[in-house]
Chains A and B, each alone.
Chain A
Amino acid sequence: MSVFIILLLPLIATALVCIPFKRHWASGVTAVSCVAVLILSARIALQVAAGDSVVSTLKMGLLKWIAVDGLSALILLLIAFVAATAAIYSVGYMAHENLTPWKLRLYYANYNLFIFSMLAIPVLAEPTLVWIVVELTTLCSALLVSFENTREALEAAWKYVVLSLMGAGMALFGFLVLFAAMQASGSDGVYTWKGLIAAAPLMPPVLLQTAFLLILIGLGTKVGLVPMHTWLPDAHSQAPSPVCALLSGIETSAILYVILRLFPVMQASPNSHAETWALVLGLISVGTAAFLLLQVRDYKRMFAFSTVEHMGIILAAVGLGASAAGYGAMQQIVSHCVTKSFCFFAAGAVLMTMGTREISAVRGLIRRSPAAGAALVFGGLAIAGAPPMAVFLSEFSILKAGLTQKQYVATGLLAIFIVIAFFGIMLHINRMVFGAPENQNNGTTEKNHIEPQPVEKFHVPFSCRLALILAAVPVFVLGVYIPKPLQDLLTQAAAALTR
């Protein structure tokens, strides 16, 4: 029942924000609804972690396909967490943008619809319905990407829509073939993730493999796996920062979740090579992203490439195949979500302070705005995988699992790429935060427009600081200590990756 309320809340919020009312009405409603969703999701996650299963008691219409297990509960919780912090962050960030009331309402209406479409991904258990909500995430977020209506934002949104929908077309074909495979297996089960796993041993391997590859490539486009990643840095850098946090922090992982759902199905079929595909595609993504990270010029694009890197790490970890690696992959999803959303909040604070996205134009940030500078350093260290943080712990457990699996080549490559990415990210961030302000270099570069007031302080809005602090808590805490319920949830989620 509470799952139902979780899905309903964003829709109600969408309707409410459309009402023209006071200045902070839309942002307030959104924040309240997102926090409520977070509380309900946390309750469901606790319930699932304790061993109860959550299935819909209503047997009508779309509702009968609602089912939540460990893996879905984990993703649901993460979506709700990022949605809530991003909603709080939006209050200050959007107020800073000086928008017309109409435009502001448009933002929040889209925001809530986007949240709805994402929340529906983990709780629905019917693959074609999941495909539809995946498609809806693209469509609901397209206008958020193009929100600023600049040439670049429109270009990014168009690329995002066309490439994601192209992938979605392939994935649709894959899901239809999967349904055919289910029918061909002669099983009379329902077409759900569970039914698929049950029917998998009898499915014709050709159909199963075709479906898997089509879905891997189709949805992989939306995850940002490397040959299909070209839209990702554009869309994830041009959208308003809270939306970037959602897109990069959680949307990619939520789509990856759909791909992960197919692994237990594939394991039933002999020599399916699903793991090999995942490992190869994952390593290519990590490697390419690591080298591209060295040459970025835009700090939001930098974080976007780091998302490509992390998605690659997760997929490669699943490809390593052991249950320990599966646990590591789940841990990496959690740490990626909390850290990457924090990074984009930090990037948004920098953007508010400096008014530019260029790395070379931002120097001596720590003097302009200590809050933004400190957040950026913390975020950079955390996302690159510096020791006491969440990402370090999860990457470490993946590498450890890889070594115990005796996959030395793959693990070695993964380690090298992670190190390259670390230096790429820290190099840029170090320059931005601590580099000498431009005017001391005496105008050797063309960015004269920020020179005159290097010491003028900028204060990051209160709600943004609040969101930064809230998002920073798990980034730090999960690096040193994973609470028992979360541990149970991660174990259950990792178990859902194998038969």
Chain B
Amino acid sequence: MSDTTNQLLDNLNALAAGLFLLTAFGIVAMRQARGCMNLFIVQSLLLAASAALLGLRHHSAHLYGVALVNLISKPIIVPWLLRRTASAEIYTRREIDQVLNIPTALLIALALAILSYFLGQPLLNSVAPEFRGPNVPIGIAGLLLGAFTLTVRREALPLLIGLLVMENGAFFTGIAISRNLPLLVELAIATDGLIIVFISGVLIRAVQKHVGTTAVGELASLKEAAAEPAAKEAGK
């Protein structure tokens, strides 16, 4: 392929990477559960797009496979599975009070994104030039922002999405630096992601049924020091 096409593909990939980061920020800040889900779907599409672009750029049929697997599993099966297991009600949830307010959360997220560039630099220096690109730092940022989402959210669905964002982030780097991973393994990882969604969905439904809330972050009766009231209840 000519240099200009390669240049174009690289630029498109950089665009996908930038948007990927943006969706991760959105998931940190979005109040509506449904909005989080939509952003996650967009993010997964961007992951698939990046895989396809890199596949085109490096002539790797294997990356097309990754793109296809991601295209089918995350944007289509995940939302469907969640609706089946956890009931559609969780989509209507709105998180009024997050642990941090949104501007603070976004500032910390920004710091994390900058940190991920520093973390990614030594990694980039030690891989072959063809593996370099925006995918490594952005993937790390996705991982960190996903973990951050897990710490600031209380509603079940955004928490679950935080987990999936972490996995997306790991993959976003993975498609750049370890692109010859056997396709079988990729398929297994994708299936695994679906099992995560299934099990979490079942758990969310159980929490909703037996505890009557989906703000799982507020479940905090199991502790060492202040266990008295909860333990009494359990003992009765």
Contact = CB atoms under 8 A, between A and B. Distances in A.
Interface residues of B, number: 57
B225 A295 contact: yes
Contact of A179 (B181, B210, B211, B233): B181
Contacts of A154: 203, 206-207, 210-211, 219
B173 to A, nearest CB: 6
Contact of A135 (B123, B171, B181, B192): B192
Interface stretch (B25-33, B67-75, B95-103, B182-190): B182-190
B196 A449 contact: no
A169 B146 contact: yes
Given A139-B199, A446-B232, A180 B131 contact: yes
B167 interface: yes
Contacts of A396: none
Contacts of B196: 135, 139, 165
A146 B206 contact: yes
A176 interface: yes
Contacts of B178: 176-177, 179-180, 183
B221 interface: yes
Contacts of A161: 199-200, 203
Interface in A138-155: 139, 142-143, 146, 149-152, 154-155
Interface stretch (A70-78, A92-100, A124-132): A124-132
A113 to B, nearest CB: 10
Return the 9 tightest CB-CB contacts between A and B, nearest first.
Answer: A169-B166, A204-B126, A179-B178, A180-B177, A155-B219, A176-B174, A173-B170, A234-B222, A172-B170
24 contacts: A126-B185, A132-B189, A135-B192, A150-B234, A154-B206, A155-B220, A158-B203, A161-B200, A162-B163, A165-B163, A166-B147, A166-B166, A169-B146, A170-B147, A172-B167, A172-B170, A176-B181, A179-B177, A204-B126, A206-B125, A238-B222, A301-B224, A357-B234, A361-B235
Given A132-B189, A146-B203, A238-B222, 20 more contacts: A132-B185, A139-B196, A142-B199, A151-B211, A154-B203, A154-B219, A155-B220, A155-B221, A157-B203, A158-B203, A166-B150, A169-B163, A169-B170, A170-B147, A173-B169, A177-B173, A179-B181, A180-B127, A184-B127, A184-B128
Interface of B: 122-123, 125-128, 131, 139-140, 143, 146-147, 150, 156, 159, 163, 166-167, 169-171, 173-174, 177-178, 180-181, 184-185, 188-189, 192, 195-196, 199-200, 202-203, 206-207, 210-211, 216, 219-222, 224-225, 227, 230-236
